[in-house]
Amino acid sequence: MDELREVLLKAAKEAGKIILQYFDGTFKIDHKEGINNLVTEVDKLAEEKIMQVIRATFPAHSIISEEAGEMIKESDYQWIIDPIDGTVNFAHGVPICCVSIGVLHKDEIILGAVYNPMMNELFFAEKGKGATLNGQPISVSKKSEFKRAFLVTGFPYKWPDGAEHPIKVFEMLVLEGLPVRRLGSAAIDLCWVACGRFDGFWEYNLQAWDVAAGYLIVKEAGGRVSDFKGNDASVFEKQTLATNGLIHEAILEMIMNKTSELS
C-alpha cells in the first residue's frame, strides 16, 4: 500500500505542476459533446503525466481516464483519473479546479487524492485510515439542523432523460431559504463536504472520474455517500448525495419526493 500511496501522490502533484504552469495563460481549447463541455490541451498534458507516473511503477494496472477513456488490462487494480476536474473553470481562469485520482482494488476504493495546485490544497484518504488536507486530519461538519445547512450542487451538461430533477430540487431547496452554491468541480465539492466547509452536496449524471477519489475522502472524514434512494453509492452510477451524515435523510427525502412528483 505504501508504494501505491507514493505513486498516487506523485502523480497528483506532477499533474498539478502542469496545471499551475498553464493556469490563466494561453492554451488550446476544444469542445466535447455540448458547446460548453470543454477540454484543453492542459487536460491532455496532465493526463499523460499521470499515466506516465503510474505506468513507471504499475504497468499492468488498468486505467480509466476522462480524456483517454478506459485502458482495460487483466488487473485487480484500477486507477480512475480526472486530469482537470472543473475544466470550464480552468479555461476561464477560475482557480476552483483540481486533479482527481482514485485507486480501486477489486472494485473497492482504497485510495483517493484531490489536488488543487492554485489553492495549494491536497486532499487524501486511505481506506480505514481517515482523510487529510495537506497532511492534517479532516472531518465533516457537525451541523444537524437541516434548515441551517450550507449546500453545494452542480448541473449536468447532458440532462437526465425525461426529467427536470436538477433544477426542481435546486428550486425547492432555495425556496426553503437554504444557501446553495455551484462551484463547477464535483471533486472539490466532495472534498469541501469532507472538511466541513459544506454540509452536503448532490448532483446528477456524474462520471466515475468525477467522484472516485471524493467518495472515499468524504467517507473517511466521517460523512455518508449514497444514491438518491439511500443506497450506498457506486462510482459507476450517476447519482451522488454526499453529506455530513446528520442531514442526509432530510435532503434525501426532499430529493425523493421531488423525483416522485416528476416521474
The owner of cell 475522502 is 217
Which H or E run includes 114? strand 108-116
User: Who contacts 260 (Cβ-Cβ below 8 Å, separation ≥6)?
Assistant: none
The angle subtended at Cα 59 by Cα 53 and Cα 64, nearest 5°, is: 75
CATH 3.30.540.10 residue spans of the chain: 2-137
Q: Which residues belong to CATH 3.40.190.80 in the chain?
A: 146-262
Can you name the residues that pair with 198 across neighbouring β-strands? none
pLDDT at residue number 263: 46
Instruction: Determine whether domain 146-262 maps to CATH 3.40.190.80.
Output: yes
CATH topology of domain 2-137: Fructose-1,6-Bisphosphatase; Chain A, domain 1 (3.30.540)
pLDDT value, residue 101: 98
pLDDT (0 to 100) of residue 262: 44
Per the listing, cell 435532503 goes with: 251
19, 84 Cβ separation under 8 angstroms: yes
Residues in the chain, pLDDT under 50: 262-263
Task: Could you list the beta-strand ranges (E) of the chain.
Answer: 29-31, 38-40, 62-65, 69-71, 77-85, 98-105, 108-116, 121-126, 131-133, 136-137, 151-153, 180-181, 200-204, 224-226, 239-243
Return the SS3 of 107.
coil
**3-class state of residue 1 by DSSP:** coil
Residue position matching grid coordinates 513507471: 56
Burial of 127 (0-12, 13-18, 19+ CB in 10 A): middle
DSSP 191: H
pLDDT at 98: 97
pTM: 0.91
pLDDT in tens, 4-41: 999 999 999 999 999 999 887 776 666 555 555 556 78
From CA 80, how far away is CA 74, in angstroms rounded?
A: 15
Query: CA distances (Å), 3 to each of 8, 10, 135, 213, 244, in order?
Result: 9, 11, 17, 17, 31
Q: How many C-alpha atoms does 15 have within 13 Å on its Cβ side? A: 35
